[in-house]
Structure 1
Amino acid sequence: MTWYSARFLPLSLLWLTLACNSGSSPAPAPPTPPPPTTPTATTFTNPLLSAGPDPWVYRKDNVYYYMNTTGGNIVIRKTAKMTELASAVSTVVWTPQQAGINQRDLWAPELYFFDGKWYIYYSADPFCCAGHRVHVLENDAADPTTGTWTYRGRIANPTADLWAIDGTVLEQNGKRYLIWSGHEVESSGTQRLYISEMSNPWTLVGPRVELSHPEFDWETIGEPDVNEGPEILKHGGKTFLVYSASHCSTDDYSLGMLTASSTADPMQPSSWTKSTKPVFAKNPAGQAYGPGHNGFFQSPDGTEDWIIYHANPLTGQGCGDNRSPRIQKFTWKADGTPDFGTPVALGAKLTKPSGE
């Protein structure tokens, strides 16, 4: 301001001068509201994929690795949430038509992590030896969808190298065992469940012991008679061997179960008690025909047990790619055995696994 007093200024100039020297600023703009959030879905519907026979899940370090039969190669899907399997990254990890390894009809791959390495057990026809055998791949990468898979060869009992599919691994009493579905003799079509001890992840030693064969009416529907797809479930001091019975070409493909103590010798048939009725069977009203060839996993927070299995949506669809992977939570009965319930209806809204 100049030397002369403000009292000599015209009133309008005095007001303007005071306003300019007051240091005031325009009123702040109102805060921008946050963008609307999309509510997180708490439910999902089956199937997880439109096709996926013989589904398998293995969890490590809070990651789920999913596999199913493709026929010509082996694929791993990797996801943190099983209900988001359809959007999971999918990686082809093995195609056998390479380096002189020729195989066809690759079935039922299963992934495991043993002694710091990954192993895949799968069934394939090696163009010899009267058909299918169980084969083994090995990978020492931290992530099974990376690194190099090395073919370790066929895994077969030295006393009975016969037709075999659906290898799975049981760990009990500090030992490992391979359990598979095979023929008693080369000329037999009936599929039985066998067990042999493993000296390493790709070698069987000792005898081949039969644990189960088709004997009840619900196990002998279709041709040939079938026990296959053995899977291990452990809970409360018991070991359960859940398997698929009757032929996959029928709507009556279902699950049976053997039960043993978790400390029993699994090589002794007397250690196992067989259920006389199926523990999981078709639900025509829910579009679940021929449910079977299952696996098991826990919810992300470890508080829930879930079964994964395939089923056809319509009657008469048999053993093809109409079989889609489905999951549902199961509980436990008072006697400590699993209660799988009934296959849930296709498209029914189910609560997601706890922790997703």
Structure 2
Amino acid sequence: MTSYRHSFLITLLASSLALTACKDDKPAPYVPNAPTNSTTFKNPLLPAGPDPWVYRKDNTYYYMSTTGGDITIRKTAKMSELASGVSTVVWTPQQAGINQRDLWAPELYSFDGKWYIYYSADPFCCAGHRVHVLENASADPTTGTWVYKGRIASPNQDLWAIDGTVLEQNGKRYLIWSGHEIEATSEQRLYISEMSNPWTLVGPRVQLSKPDFSWETIGDPDVNEGPEILKHGDKTFLVYSASHCSTDDYALGMLTASATADPMLPSSWTKTPTPVFTKNPANQAYGPGHNGFFQSKDGTEDWIIYHANPQTGQGCGNQRSPRIQKFTWNADGTPNFGTPVALGTELKKPSGE
């Protein structure tokens, strides 16, 4: 999630999602995603889509991003053809009789035969945003009824929180999120807490990371947010976004732990001192961040999805478009995300498409 610090004005966009951070935002240039042949595609996948998330179940990919006023799922069999996928608004707080605003960074999961969505919203109380949980027992998350399960927070530590994501390790589930140390601060840190069920935290929250390095403290406030889990071999990676989204220098950082370590112990995690994915002005990628991960349909390739602005100075608004690219692995087992590829470049479709 990006830490917006603005009250957003929701408007309709002809193509899809809506979220505008300031009145003078100019429309992002959109490179049509129609491939020149059956084996390639071009970024961006959509003209807008801050905080993109992808979850795969069976042969279907479910895509979500920040819209501001509702929660929408876009469904597709091929990530390279996301633009033609069916988009469904699955929940709005007004329909549920719940008073919330500024819905950000939804993430979809399938746990124990049910679907869950974790999202951030301001419930008009308690000094701002919290992470909230929805549940759906239908086989298809774009159908059936989504039930609001409430705010998810550590006991006695219900402080400002956004960008909830779930880690499964050693037979347990954990929520990881971006939050404030105390109510009076604006600095964002990464926290973890064990889950007793998909909507309840037990025990304390533990801090895993705070903005330490100069590349994490560009803009105001200092930010660690958008945590996402990536597993490979005997390692668990926590990839997060750092610096403020209002800057071109929003970038990805990384923590690494053993796949069998206790993730509640800060000593289990090692922080990479340099960013692992940064802006590329020559390729129209400013402020790349708030990513997700997925595999190709045949399971042979690893892909990252992220948002970036096509022009400098566009900040936290709806100019941020979702982009995907394949990444590789270094000899030491760490991911190599490379650099953001240029808009409009023909890329080979994910294997199996």
* Match 1:266 to one of 250, 263, 266: 263
| CA deviation vs aligned residue, 1:248-297 (integer Å, no higher than 9, x gap) | 00000000000000000000000000000000000000000000000000
CA distance in 2, matches of 1:112, 1:302: 19
Out of 213, 219, 224, the position equivalent to 2:210 is 213
How far the C-alpha of 1:100 sits from its partner, in A, is 2.8
Report percent identity of matched pairs.
85
2:156 to 133, 156, 159: 159
Offset at residue 97 of structure 1 (A): 1.1
Q: Which residue identity does 2:124 align to in structure 1?
A: F
> CA deviation digits over 1:298-341, x for unaligned, max 9?
00000000000000000000000000000000000000000000
How far apart are the structure 2 equivalents of 1:312 and 1:75?
Answer: 21
Tell me the CA shift for residue 40 of structure 1.
Answer: 5.1
Mind listing any 5+ residue stretches in structure 1 that lack a counterpart? 1-37
Give the distance between the partners of 1:118 and 1:296, measured in 2 at CA.
19
The residue type paired with residue 106 of structure 2 is P
Which of 179, 182, 186 is the aligned partner of 2:183?
186
Separation (CA, whole Å) in 1 of partners of 2:343 and 2:98: 40
C-alpha distance in 2 between matches for 1:237 and 1:57: 23
1:128-170 per-residue CA deviation (whole Å, 9 max, x = no partner) reads 0000000000000000000000000000111210000000000
Superposed CA offset, 1:213-254 (max 9, x none): 001000000000000000000001100000000000000000
Are residues 1:88 and 2:85 paired?
A: yes
Q: 2:125 aligns with which of 118, 123, 128?
A: 128
Question: 1:251 touches 1:318 (CA, 8 Å); kept in 2?
Answer: yes
Give me the whole-angstrom Cα distance separating, in 1, the residues matched to 2:57 and 2:195.
22
Q: Give 4+ residue runs of structure 1 displaced > 6 Å after superposition.
A: none
Does the alignment pair 1:350 with 2:347? yes
Aligned mates of 1:325, 1:233 — CA distance in 2: 19
Computing the radius of gyration over CA atoms, which structure comes out larger, 1 or 2? 1
Root-mean-square deviation over aligned CA pairs: 1.0
Does the alignment pair 1:144 with 2:109? no
Q: 2:111 maps to what in 1? A: 114
| Normalised TM-score (structure 2) | 0.90
SS at match of 1:306: strand
Amino acid at match of 2:253: G
Cα distance in 1 for partners of 2:188, 2:108 equals: 23
What is the one-letter code of the residue matched to 1:46? N
Which amino acid counterpart does residue 167 of structure 2 have in structure 1? Answer: L
Structure scoring higher RCO (CA < 8 A, sep ≥ 6) equals: 2
Asked whether the 8 Å contact 1:159–1:208 carries over to 2, the reply is: no
Separation of aligned partners in 2, 1:39 and 1:162: 49
Secondary structure in structure 2 of the residue aligned to 1:260: strand
What is the correspondence of 1:44-83 to structure 2 with a 5 Å cutoff? 44-83=41-80
Aligned length: 319
The corresponding residue for 2:27 is none
Deviation at 1:39, TM superposition (A): 9.3
Counterpart selection for 1:231 from 221, 228, 231:
228
